[in-house]
Structure 1
Amino acid sequence: MENSQPILTEEMHMFDYWSGVYSPADQHIDSLRAAYDAFQQHYTLPRTEGMCIEDHTLTLPTHRIDMRVFSPEDIEPLTGWSWIFYVHGGGNVVGGADSHEYIARQLARDLKVKVFLAEYGLVPEFGWTQGQQDCLDVYQLILQQAEKWNIRPEHGAIVADGSGAVLALQVQQALSAQQQPKALVLIFPSFVTQNSATHQPQSLIYQIEDQHLMQTWTGVSAQHALRTVPQLKHAVPSSFIALTQYDVCHGANLDLLEKLKQLNTQVDVYTGMGLRGNCLPLLRDCYAVASVYEALLKFLQPNF
């Protein structure tokens, strides 16, 4: 899987190039976030008609967080919307509604569903476990307020990219049997790997997802970090996992697939050829990423 000279698509090469262009002004966390948001928005299309986009502030047990909700402007279904709870990546340090609108809005449009994108607590303002707790609290709050959101609680899915995959798995494992989503989707999951820094370009997008850089803000070493594949003790719903051909997290993903197999989970695995890293923003520009996205849609559509 690892290759010292990977044969990347032309678009993947350009992704690497632009990831280097969007570099932070300095190593301050605010600079890192500004550069990351600008890079992600480089791939975000302007808003057009046909989509209702609302920003909400949610009150959780310990603090308040923001959430962006995407709904097609079609006539609302009488029985309520099918829905997606989206958990964004960003190494638990960056990311939010602006950086991931490109994918949340696209999913809402293409699947004709309501998509919830919460801005969970990030490091260093919060501890490592805050993101998981926030996502769990928001997911359960959405279920409790199903009538308000006009959703069908039993027709939901959890979708996550990059480091958000860890949070998605942790949330799913913490849910009761009655709260379980119908499906789980992990796009280019990013886990802790000891050698990631030596196999990835040291440009923005890879630094963000690289556990070693996060030690700057937390002091948590890769050996003790929480972004390893979590223990899976309960059943996992039907799942789709998108990988890349040159996947630095190959070993961790094999571990995840083995754990899912032991739980008799039905898993669709799709590998994007000529790709590496969390290159999801290329879904409109690169055939290889678009093929991953089309496979994802094909997987989710029957669940809705």
Structure 2
Amino acid sequence: MENNQPMLTEEMQMFDYWSGVYSPADQHIDSLRAAYDAFQQHYTLPRTEGMRIEDHTLILATHCIDMRVFTPEENAPETGWSWIFYVHGGGNVVGSADSHEYIARQLARDLNVKVLLVEYGLVPEFEWSQGQQDCLDAYLLILQQSATWNINTAKGSIVADGSGAALALQVQQQLLVEQQPQALALIFPSFFSQHSTTERQSLVYQVEDQQLMQTWTGVSAQQALRTVPELKHSMPRSFIALTQYDVCHAENAVLLQQLQQCNTQVEVYTGMGLKGNCLPLLRDCHEVASVYEALLKFLQPNF
């Protein structure tokens, strides 16, 4: 590196540029979400044949949440579809089925599995912990309704990106042994970090570094948000994708140490020349594509 500047790939530099172009029109939460969705959809391919995409509403104990389901258009296996429960990133403030269709649809196609992408409660409409509860309730409800979704409960995995990693870990820790997924994959996990920068950043990094969460919850609540949860129970086989210039390096080191103490089989892959949650670059950047290929290789034996 020169002048302490990261040696980012050319595609990563363009990702930074476009993340700055897609900025909210004002400080209203709706403007923020519109800008984030538009940025993510910039990297979303048009829908083509071969995939059935359906929007559903899950009725939970206290309220309803939406879920988008991606199913390959072919005959389902006799024992039901292998499946992925996907937890999207976005700093617990933004993110939706629209913003993360690019990855959910890709996984469904490349692995020939059903992908269920939930829209959990976000700040400021809900307390930040609501997302965790929604994901847990949705996961358990899907298991209870396995016949409705035509899934094989023994062949499920949880995949999460960015801030969704904290939610996925918290959900997994609350599941009983017989309910645990076969595998857990965390792509570019984002936790609260003492090293998060306070300088002006483009949209995607503000979101994942929790600067926007601080705006909506107040400084006093910041320390409690998206910390690495204490892992007290056994964990399924895990895959963790990191970036070379990871602001959450210390936090991810704690996570890896805890996984080791739980005797968890962990595969770690580091994308060189990358920073932050740059998953939308999976089709445009060789390094991100390599991360994605490693993810597929990890997940395939479970299905």
CA distance in 2, matches of 1:213, 1:197: 13
- Does residue 145 (structure 1) correspond to residue 109 (structure 2)? The answer is no
**Shift in CA distance, 64/15, structure 1 to aligned 2, threshold 3 Å:** same
Whether contact under 8 Å (1:108, 1:114) holds in the other structure is: yes
| 2:252 counterpart letter in structure 1 | N
What is the CA-CA distance between 1:4 and the residue it aligns to? 2.7
| 2:296 counterpart letter in structure 1 | L
Whether contact under 8 Å (2:40, 2:100) holds in the other structure is: yes
| 1:248 counterpart letter in structure 2 | V
- 1:186 alignment counterpart: 186
After superposition, the C-alpha distances for 1:24-46 in whole angstroms (9 at most, x for unaligned) are 11111111100000000000000
- 2:76 alignment counterpart: 76
What percentage of residue pairs aligned between the two structures are identical? Answer: 80
- 1:92 alignment counterpart: 92
What is the CA-CA distance between 1:223 and the residue it aligns to? 5.2
Whether contact under 8 Å (2:238, 2:266) holds in the other structure is: yes
The alignment partner of 2:75 has SS state of coil
How many residues are paired up?
302
Whether contact under 8 Å (2:120, 2:130) holds in the other structure is: yes
The alignment partner of 1:213 has SS state of helix
- 1:136 alignment counterpart: 136
After superposition, the C-alpha distances for 1:230-287 in whole angstroms (9 at most, x for unaligned) are 0100001000000000000000000000000000100000000000000000000000
After superposition, the C-alpha distances for 1:7-53 in whole angstroms (9 at most, x for unaligned) are 00000000000000000111111111000000000000000000000
- 2:169 alignment counterpart: 169
What is the CA-CA distance between 1:60 and the residue it aligns to? 0.6
Structure 2: runs of 5 or more not aligned: none
- 1:117 alignment counterpart: 117
CA distance in 2, matches of 1:134, 1:220: 24
CA distance in 1, matches of 2:200, 2:242: 18
After superposition, the C-alpha distances for 1:147-195 in whole angstroms (9 at most, x for unaligned) are 1111110100000000000000000000011100000000000000122
- 2:207 alignment counterpart: 208
| 1:208 counterpart letter in structure 2 | V
CA distance in 2, matches of 1:248, 1:105: 28
- 2:302 alignment counterpart: 303
What is the CA-CA distance between 1:212 and the residue it aligns to? 2.8
Structure 1: runs of 5 or more not aligned: none
